[in-house]
């Protein structure tokens, strides 16, 4: 099955409906604090404008629960888009209805219209066909450029494709799928996956799928302690999902059978509480005090991971190595960023927290590709097909 992308679609004189991801963070005054998601859709928008098309943009923002809530308005996005594009972006206070239809019909080549938050309507998250049909009727072509919501079967992502005369993906979707395929479906070996974050439960299927593909698996973050405890190591008050210890043993057993090396922390930074003012120290994972908890990987583990990442050809990373938001427990995550950034390997990083750490580190430009998604990236790592991607196939 194939997907048509925006550069393969004739847009001259056409109205193009783009499902974008403008779910940007706002401060208490309603100002955008990070516009990376807006910037990531600019290549698709500009491609359409440069080739004589007009653009209708839609997105969700936050979780307004199917009701109009002005704090989740996309009005600040319209303002920022106008600045980035150096041209007027018209904004309407709804995404369906007679006024929207009239304004959409009156668009001329080069015009841009941003519609209000899709999630002000409960039909969006219900994947309602009637709502989707109204959205599809606004334009000649439907383009999905919102990878971060493509794991959701929502009206503007999935149902709309049943009513669109022509459909395809934007450049952001094209890049996400292209890099992911290079890393996971046609990788250059050795391929190493680094998996961190707090819990095993959210990444169980990810781990089970990864050990079918990778040569080595490095596990850090809070989830490492479930694996360590599964190996009979006492880990004090560290985060452990006791109900998943058997599963952790099964993952390690399957990895061993496939010849995949699983590398766990050998030392960690422990503290008496999750706090910047906590007492903390470095200790061997076998010597964690009973009433302390592990909150980051230690120096020996960083060196162990560094050694494991030598001479690899492909690196996939999801999840931080510790509570990086708090200074004493941030070193592990930032050191692994340095190692991955300095590697000549193809490197793909995905997941909200990992992305945040990466942007803070100033090393973003040294990573081959940074996914814009958390949930959708994890779904792909599980081996799942995303509803929003499948819906674009023809």
Could you tell me the CA-to-CA distances from 187 to 110, 208, 316 in Å, in that order? 40, 18, 10
User: Residues of the chain with pLDDT > 90: what percent?
Assistant: 86
Question: Max alpha carbon distance in the chain (Å)?
Answer: 70
Residue 360 above 70 pLDDT?
yes
- Among the listed residues 103, 126, 199, 382, the single catalytic one is 199
Q: How confident is the model at residue 203, as a pLDDT?
A: 86
Those residues whose C-beta lies under 8 Å from the C-beta of residue 354, and which sit 6 or more positions away, are 196, 317, 318, 319, 320, 333
DSSP state of 385: P
pLDDT at residue 231, as a whole number:
95
- 70/165 same-domain check: yes
| pLDDT class of 376 with cuts at 50, 70, 90 | confident
Taken as a whole, the chain contains a residue count of 394
Angstrom CA distances, 304 to 189, 298, 307, 316, 367, stand at 19, 10, 5, 17, 21
Q: For residue 190, is the peptide bond before it cis, meaning its omega torsion is within 30 degrees of 0?
A: yes
Note whether 327 and 291 are same-domain residues. Answer: yes
SS3 188: coil
What is the CATH number for 371?
Answer: 3.40.50.1260
Secondary structure in 3-state letters for 109-165: CCCEEECCCHHHCHHHHCCCHHHHHHHHCCCCEEEECCHHHCCCCCCCCCHHHHCCC
- Which of 62, 66, 137, 375 is an active site residue? 375
Indicate whether 392 belongs to any domain: no
Q: For residue 288, give every residue at least 6 positions away whose Cβ sits within 8 Å of its Cβ, in sequence order, or none.
A: 234, 235, 236, 238, 268, 270, 294
Q: Does some domain include residue 96?
A: yes
Q: Which residue in the list 15, 37, 167, 331 is annotated as catalytic?
A: 37
Average pLDDT, the chain: 94
pLDDT attached to residue 254: 95
Residues 116 and 205 in one domain: no
CA torsion angle 220 223 229 234 (round to 10): 70
| Closest residue by Cα to residue 34 from 21, 45, 44 | 21
The answer to whether residue 199 is catalytic is yes
pTM above 0.75, yes or no: yes
Mean pLDDT score, 129-148: 97
pLDDT of 15-58, one tens digit each?
999 999 999 999 988 999 989 899 999 999 999 999 999 999 99
Q: Which of 177, 137, 187, 192 is CA-nearest to residue 160?
A: 137
**What pLDDT, in 10s, does the model give residues 321-357?**
999 999 999 999 999 999 999 999 999 998 768 888 8
Number of domains, the chain: 2
Annotated catalytic residue within 352, 363, 383, 390: 352
Q: Do 123 and 200 belong to one domain?
A: no
Same domain, 116 and 226: no
Same domain membership, residue 240 and residue 104? no
Mean pLDDT of 230-242: 95
pLDDT at site 368: 94
Domain of 56 in residue numbering reads as 6-172
Distance set, CA 277 to CA 328, 329, 360 (Å): 9, 11, 22
Q: Is the pLDDT of residue 7 over 90?
A: yes
pLDDT-derived band of residue 1, with 50, 70 and 90 as boundaries?
Answer: low
pLDDT of residue 352: 66
Give per-residue pLDDT as tens, 195-210. Answer: 999 888 888 888 999 9
The number of beta carbons lying within 10 Å of the beta carbon of residue 103 is 17
Question: Based on the domain organization, do 191 and 101 belong to the same domain?
Answer: no
Q: Where is the domain boundary, 146, 172, 198?
A: 172
**One domain for residues 56 and 123:** yes
Instruction: Inform me whether the pLDDT recorded for 109 exceeds 80.
Output: yes
- Same domain for 253 and 348, yes or no, is yes
Residues 151 and 207 in one domain: no
Structure token pair of residue 43: 């290549």
Residue 184 has pLDDT above 90, yes or no: no
- In 10 A of CB 385, how many CB atoms? 12
Q: Using one digit for the tens of pLDDT, what is the confidence trace for 281-302? A: 999 999 999 999 999 999 999 9
Give the position of tokens 């694996």: 227
Q: Catalytic: 37?
A: yes
pLDDT of residue 21: 96
Residues 195 and 143 reside in one and the same domain: no
State how far the alpha carbon of 259 is from the alpha carbons of 138, 186, 262, 315, 372, in Å: 54, 19, 9, 18, 32
Whether 150 is in a domain gets the answer yes
Q: CA-to-CA distance for 261 and 113, rounded, in angstroms? A: 52
């Amino acid at each position: 099955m194939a997907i048509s992308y925006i550069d393969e679609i004739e847009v001259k004189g056409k109205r193009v409906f783009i499902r974008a991801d403008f779910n940007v963070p706002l401060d208490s005054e309603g100002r955008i604090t990070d516009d990376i998601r807006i910037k990531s859709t600019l290549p698709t928008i500009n491609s359409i404008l440069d080739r004589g098309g007009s653009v209708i943009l839609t997105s969700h923002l936050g979780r307004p629960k199917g009701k109009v809530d002005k704090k989740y308005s996309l009005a600040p996005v319209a303002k920022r888009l106008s600045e980035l594009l150096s041209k007027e972006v018209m904004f309407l206070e709804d995404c369906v209805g007679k006024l929207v239809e009239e304004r959409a019909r009156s668009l001329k080549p080069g015009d841009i219209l941003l519609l209000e938050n899709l999630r002000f309507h409960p039909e969006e998250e219900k994947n309602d066909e009637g709502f989707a049909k109204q959205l599809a009727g606004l334009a000649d072509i439907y383009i999905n450029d919102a990878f971060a919501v493509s794991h959701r079967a929502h009206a503007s992502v999935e149902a709309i494709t049943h009513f669109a005369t022509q459909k395809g993906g934007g450049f952001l979707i094209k890049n996400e799928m292209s890099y992911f395929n290079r890393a996971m479906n046609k990788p250059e070996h050795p391929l190493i996956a680094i998996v961190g974050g707090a819990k095993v439960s959210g990444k169980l299927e990810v781990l089970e799928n990864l050990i079918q593909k990778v040569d080595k698996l490095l596990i850090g973050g809070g989830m490492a302690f479930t694996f360590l405890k599964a190996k009979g190591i006492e880990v004090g008050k560290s985060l452990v999902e006791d109900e998943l210890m058997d599963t952790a043993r099964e993952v390690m057993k399957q990895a061993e059978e496939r010849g995949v090396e699983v590398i766990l922390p050998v030392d960690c930074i422990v503290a008496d509480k999750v706090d910047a003012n906590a007492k903390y120290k470095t200790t061997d994972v076998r010597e964690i005090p009973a009433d302390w908890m592990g909150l980051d990987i230690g120096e020996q583990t960083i060196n162990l991971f560094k050694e494991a990442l030598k001479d690899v050809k492909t690196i996939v990373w999801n999840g931080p190595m510790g509570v990086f938001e708090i200074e004493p427990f941030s070193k592990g995550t930032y050191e692994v960023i340095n190692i991955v950034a300095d590697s000549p390997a193809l490197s793909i990083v995905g997941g909200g927290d990992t992305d945040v750490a990466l942007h803070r580190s100033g090393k973003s430009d040294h990573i081959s590709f940074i996914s814009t998604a958390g949930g959708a990236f994890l779904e792909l790592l599980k081996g799942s097909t995303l509803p929003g991607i499948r819906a674009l196939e023809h």
